Amino acid sequence: MRDERGPVLGVFLLAMASATIHGEASGQGVAGAASNWTVSPEPESVYGWLEGEPNSDFSDIVGAAHGPDGNIAVADRRLAMITVFSVDGTVMAAMGREGDGPGEFRSLSGLVVDGEGRLVVFDDTHQRRSEWTFDGTLVGDTRLRREGTDREIGAVGQFADGSWYARERDRLVATDVGGVGRDTVGYHRLGDDGAVGEALVRVPGRVTSMFSAGGMPPGIRGALFSPRALGATRGNCLLAGASDGPVLQIFDQTGAARGELRLEVQVDRATEDHRKEWISESIASFARMSGDEVGPQQRQMIEAMGEAVGMAERIPFAYDLIVDDLGYVWIQPYQLPDGPGNSEWRVFAETGKAIGTVELPDGFRVLAISADAVVGVRTDDLGRQFVQVHALDRRGDVESRPLPPGCG
């Protein structure tokens, strides 16, 4: 189950010279096996907004998962609903609605298919995990009990052996004006009875700061270039780290350390030139979203915020991280001002070695990558969302990568 996502905020590529953290290798521009992989520009399958099909209209998709028979389930947070489609796109079942009773939702954060072929969804408002069959039958609800943490849980996930983990929700950390403070995010054991146990691992979270601009009362927001906590499962292990440090710690489902994965990627220290670039691109993004010229007042407000808010130490190297079904690590590069990079994803072997880049369709938010397909979400100009499945051709390179020791 994916941890979180964010909006696409522009297509600006940082092209300035910048200071590189000493001793960390650069994987930019690398040519390798993955650079020969191709993703089909047109989808093989599309799910959503079917004429005459109720429960197929989506606007806030938070997850999609294939079932044992090739069916696909789609979870929409805004609609508080899960829809199941057959292989040919017919709506087979719809479950859930907004509410507080059994099988009802307030804020879905994702879904997975467990080892028994059932749908498991998590509601981060109710702090509740629900299990369903693909025909729309509710198996049961389990409310989480936070014994190992006082923080709310933002997402849950599952290891290969069927055991569960829970990820804390990110938290804002207030500091003095101009200062920055860093949160940490815990990944915890999660029992079948909903008990959130002790932490498997804690990783750096967002950098946050308090600011005051234009005489307005102090507010709290992410510092410029605020990183994200990254996490993904690989077998019975969790790979976890932060998007401004290319080292992922590896822990098994018991919390035992199993080493680390150092990604071959460049990380840049944030400079005042980066602050200027952030201001410039934020103004350009505002203009793109509004479809109009940026007025003097809006420009002044963005400039004041950019100058007043604290700045993180490093520029994040990644916006998103996925481990595919074969064990390759994929990252979507970070891009100014605060969002995902362009459609070119970087791929790394299980050793952390950069092995190339893969071009994905523009405006495509990736949910999962299998041996031969990429599943994700596309949003059209009207705000309608569709789940799309694109073919992935690895040129015959379909061998599974070795698991880290102790993760099998």
CA distance 324 to 194: 27
Tokens 């098994």 identify what position?
A: 252
> Following DSSP, what letter does each residue of 178-240 receive, concatenated?
T--EEEEEEEEEE-TT-EEEEEEEEEEEEEEEEE--TTPPPEEEEPBT---EEEEEETTEEEE
Strand partners, 366: 376
Q: CB count, 10 Å around CB of 362?
A: 11
Nearest to 186 by CA among 157, 161, 166, 172: 166
Q: What pLDDT score does 336 carry?
A: 83
> Following DSSP, what letter does each residue of 257-280 receive, concatenated?
EEEEEE-----EE--HHHHHHHHH
3-class state of residue 166 by DSSP? strand
pLDDT in tens, 323-354: 999 999 999 999 888 777 779 999 999 999 99
Q: What pLDDT score does 213 carry?
A: 66
Cis, bond preceding 337 (omega within 30 deg of 0): yes
Spatial contact of 282 and 304, defined as CB atoms under 8 Å apart: no
Q: Is 323 exposed, middle or buried (0-12, 13-18, 19+ CB in 10 A)?
A: buried
Q: What pLDDT score does 91 carry?
A: 95
CA distance 278 to 221: 15
CA distance 94 to 108: 15
Percent share of the chain, pLDDT over 90: 71
The domain spans of the chain are 27-57+318-408, 171-182+205-316
Q: Rg of the Cα trace of the chain?
A: 21
Q: Average pLDDT of 15-39? A: 53
> pLDDT tier at 7 (50, 70, 90 boundaries)?
very low
Q: What pLDDT score does 9 carry?
A: 22
3-class state of residue 28 by DSSP? coil
Q: Average pLDDT of 48-65? A: 93
Q: CB count, 10 Å around CB of 68?
A: 10
Q: CB count, 10 Å around CB of 163?
A: 14
With a threshold of 0.75, does the pTM exceed it? yes
> pLDDT tier at 171 (50, 70, 90 boundaries)?
confident
125 pLDDT more than 50: yes
> pLDDT tier at 1 (50, 70, 90 boundaries)?
low
Q: Average pLDDT of 41-68? A: 93
Q: What pLDDT score does 14 carry?
A: 20
pLDDT in tens, 250-264: 999 999 999 999 999
38-39 vs 153-158, strand pairing mode? unpaired
Q: Is 31 exposed, middle or buried (0-12, 13-18, 19+ CB in 10 A)?
A: exposed
Buried-state track 213-225, b at ≥16 Cβ within 10 A, e below 16: beeeeeeeebbbb
Tokens 């092209």 identify what position?
A: 15
Report the 3 state secondary structure along 67-123: CCCCCEEEEECCCCEEEEECCCCCEEEEECCECCCCCCECCEEEEEECCCCCEEEEE
